[in-house]
Amino acid sequence: MGTMTDHRPAEPMNWELYMPGISIDCVIFGYHNKELKILILEYKKSGIFALPGGFLRKDEELKDAAKRVLFERTGLRDIYLNQFHTFGSLKRGDIGPMHTVLRKNNMPFDNRHFLLQRFISVSYYALVDFKQVDPVADILSDSCQWYDSHHLPPLMLDHHEIFEKALEHLRNNIDRSVVGLNLLDDTFTMRELQNLYETILGEKLNRTGFHRKMMLSGQLKRLGKKKTGKAHRSPFVYKFTEEKK
Amino acid sequence: MGTMTDHRPAEPMNWELYMPGISIDCVIFGYHNKELKILILEYKKSGIFALPGGFLRKDEELKDAAKRVLFERTGLRDIYLNQFHTFGSLKRGDIGPMHTVLRKNNMPFDNRHFLLQRFISVSYYALVDFKQVDPVADILSDSCQWYDSHHLPPLMLDHHEIFEKALEHLRNNIDRSVVGLNLLDDTFTMRELQNLYETILGEKLNRTGFHRKMMLSGQLKRLGKKKTGKAHRSPFVYKFTEEKK
DNA sequence: CCAAAAGTGTTTTGGGTACACCCATGA
DNA sequence: TCATGGGTGTACCCAAAACACTTTTGG
């Protein structure tokens, strides 16, 4: 769509309401066509790509801020959000890119502008339903869209490092979380679930072993058969016993 | 000892050099007499207990800041330091305790004092050699000492929650790190190493299984026998093959 | 010789992988 | 009936746990 909805800030931000020097960045994972997708936004007219991020309000819990940022960028609420690291590299203090953004947008600023300071980034990752996301650009960015994780545009500052660390955490925690819950349809075949796991982990898994492990985990409930129209036995479809978050 | 050494700041801090709103807290684990110890400092004349913490200089890498803070509080360098979480609860904005500290110390301040703002805390944990630590109080605190992790004093703000999360991370990562390297003497018996693991994990471990696993890990080198003076076979002593950090 | 703790060999178990085989389906 | 992919039983491997046994030491 691209239309501005009322919950998303259309007015210039009042920087006084925000904690200086602290940003929140989100690595938002989606899944489509056996590809792991990441949500990336592009700043207006500048050709600068970045993870969707935001800032911490002075009266706001850190976790709430992450949820709000995610909501403002994707319209999604109550998503599984995981804080995984805080980045504080001095390279983050490179004001070049943001300088460009402000200049290209004819926004007045001096060197003490809120956006031109050093930030440390408290970073979260989220798994969201690819199909339910309506990426909408905000006042500073003119595009917000999914990129295949293998073909990301060059990202500003250390955002690529942030993405890599998020992926590392996602891979390490894949067994402890119900990964498919937000990344697949309500019902899915075992092969579809396995494809998702293989995409995230970046490696092939044993088919029968995967099948057995998933069934023994108790996370799955088997429903009826699915007609594929293909020349082979029709697979069962499954759903997660846990409710969608 | 308690004497001020030259590397520790004796002068009032120049708050201009520091990032506002960002603190660094360290959960420093030691080990002694089958007890897990935590380093806690007490603010002068106020009866307020806190984790040793500090602030991030504007020109400083986050990780370097954590190392510096640890150094200033314990005199230890180059310790295994692990960032595990960033805490941002609004309760952290409770200025009561710090207000008390400043007042009791007759330090001039107004409500915009650096220490009286909301902080988010980037938190690290470290494993240090109990015996090599010379806890020295700094300008704001009048004691800095080890506490048994089961008998901590009431800690300010959310510091107890920080400690609990650090312990959780320590337990989860115990297999992936050479836990005893800084927590035991240079040489130790297998039983002493097992005692350490059991103390950290808070549960009994199988003796023979532990023995075998440790030997197979390749982390240990067996040295000579140790005379215990007890009425039983004398154990071997071991050391880590990896160098002390 | 006994008790206590250390060290080690043997057995059992359980999870993971590999492989074989059957099943269902449409061409 | 063949090819294809889904589901399941069986065999095997390896690491961890459980157990038994021996060794060493001081009393």
Q: Collapsing DSSP states into helix, strand and coil, what is residue A241?
A: coil
Nearest C-alpha neighbor of A145 from the set A24, A40, A20, A228: A40
The partner residues of A36 in beta bridges, in order of sequence, read: A31
Nearest C-alpha neighbor of A113 from the set A12, A41, A42, A10: A12
Share of chain A above pLDDT 90, in %: 45
Q: Confidence class of residue A213 from pLDDT cuts 50, 70 and 90?
A: very high
Q: What is the pLDDT of residue B10?
A: 47
Q: What's the DSSP call for residue A79?
A: -
What is the average pLDDT score of chain B? 85
Spatial distance between the Cα atoms of B233 and A192, rounded to a whole number of angstroms: 59
Q: What is the pLDDT of residue A124?
A: 97
Q: What is the pLDDT of residue B155?
A: 93
B209-237: average pLDDT: 85
Last residue of a domain, one of A148, A172, A196: A172
Can you list the alpha helix ranges (DSSP code H) found in A62-136? 62-74, 96-104
Residues B107, B89 within the same domain: yes
Spatial distance between the Cα atoms of B202 and B196, rounded to a whole number of angstroms: 10
Share of chain B above pLDDT 90, in %: 44
| Inter-residue contact A34 to A195 (CB < 8 Å) | yes
Q: Confidence class of residue B76 from pLDDT cuts 50, 70 and 90?
A: confident
Residues A25, A139 within the same domain: yes
CB-CB under 8 Å, B120 with A19: yes
User: Which nucleotide has the shortest C1'-to-CA distance from B228?
Assistant: D25
Q: What's the DSSP call for residue A136?
A: -
Contact list, B59 vs chain A (CB under 8 Å): 90
Chain A interface, best mutation among B19, B25, B55, B114, by max A CB count within 10 A: B19
Residues B55, B156 within the same domain: yes
A91-104: average pLDDT: 74
At A241, phi and psi to the nearest 5? -70, -35
A145-174: average pLDDT: 94
Domain membership of residue B6 (yes or no) is no
Min Cα–Cα distance to chain B from A227, Å: 44
Q: Which of A195-199, A207-211, B140-144 has the lowest mean pLDDT?
A: B140-144
Spatial distance between the Cα atoms of A84 and B171, rounded to a whole number of angstroms: 17
The answer to whether the beta carbon of residue A212 comes closer than 7 angstroms to any atom of strand D is: yes
Domain membership of residue A1 (yes or no) is no
Q: What is the pLDDT of residue A140?
A: 72
Residue A77 has pLDDT above 90, yes or no: no
- Domain boundaries, position A150: 15-172
Q: What is the 3-state secondary structure (H, E, C) of B25-58?
A: EEEEEEEECCEEEEEEEEECCCCCEECCEEEEEC
Question: Does A88 lie at the interface with B, CB-CB under 8 angstroms?
Answer: yes
Spatial distance between the Cα atoms of B245 and B240, rounded to a whole number of angstroms: 11
Q: What is the pLDDT of residue B2?
A: 36
Which residue spans within chain A are E strands per DSSP?
18-32, 35-43, 49-50, 53-57, 81-87, 120-127, 141-148, 220-225, 236-240
Domain membership of residue B19 (yes or no) is yes
Q: Confidence class of residue B173 from pLDDT cuts 50, 70 and 90?
A: confident
User: Which nucleotide has the shortest C1'-to-CA distance from B232?
Assistant: D25
pLDDT digits (tens, 9 = 90+) for B187-217: 999 999 999 999 999 999 999 999 999 998 8
Residues B46, B145 within the same domain: yes
Q: What is the pLDDT of residue B79?
A: 80
User: Which nucleotide has the shortest C1'-to-CA distance from B235?
Assistant: C6
Domain membership of residue B7 (yes or no) is no
Residues A126, A112 within the same domain: yes
B108-132: average pLDDT: 84
A151-161: average pLDDT: 93
A9-23: average pLDDT: 77
Residues A234, A168 within the same domain: no
- The count of domains in chain A is 2
Residues A143, A224 within the same domain: no
Residues B117, B186 within the same domain: no
| Inter-residue contact A179 to A200 (CB < 8 Å) | yes
Residues B182, B119 within the same domain: no
Last residue of a domain, one of A131, A155, A172: A172
Domain membership of residue B134 (yes or no) is yes
Domain membership of residue B138 (yes or no) is yes
Spatial distance between the Cα atoms of A245 and A80, rounded to a whole number of angstroms: 7
Of residues B21, B60, B85, nearest to A22 (C-beta): B21
Residues A104, A188 within the same domain: no
Q: What is the pLDDT of residue A11?
A: 53
B209 CA to C13 C1' distance (Å): 14
Which positions in strand C are less than 7 Å from the protein's CB atoms?
Answer: 2-9, 16-20, 23-27
Spatial distance between the Cα atoms of A34 and A40, rounded to a whole number of angstroms: 19
Last residue of a domain, one of B129, B149, B172: B172
B61 CA to C19 C1' distance (Å): 53
pLDDT digits (tens, 9 = 90+) for A23-64: 999 999 999 999 999 999 888 778 889 999 889 999 999 999
N residues, chain B: 245
Q: What is the pLDDT of residue A6?
A: 41
Minimum Cα–Cα distance from B56: chain A residue: A88
Burial of B159 (0-12, 13-18, 19+ CB in 10 A): buried
- Tell me whether strands A120-127 and A18-32 are parallel, antiparallel or unpaired: parallel
N residues, chain A: 245
Residue A1 has pLDDT above 80, yes or no: no
CATH number at residue A205: 1.10.10.10
Which positions in strand D are less than 7 Å from the protein's CB atoms?
Answer: 3-10, 16-20, 23-27
Spatial distance between the Cα atoms of B126 and B39, rounded to a whole number of angstroms: 10
Residues A211, A125 within the same domain: no
Domain membership of residue B66 (yes or no) is yes
CATH number at residue B49: 3.90.79.10
Domain membership of residue A7 (yes or no) is no
Residues A71, A147 within the same domain: yes
Size of interface A-B (CB pairs under 8 A): 56
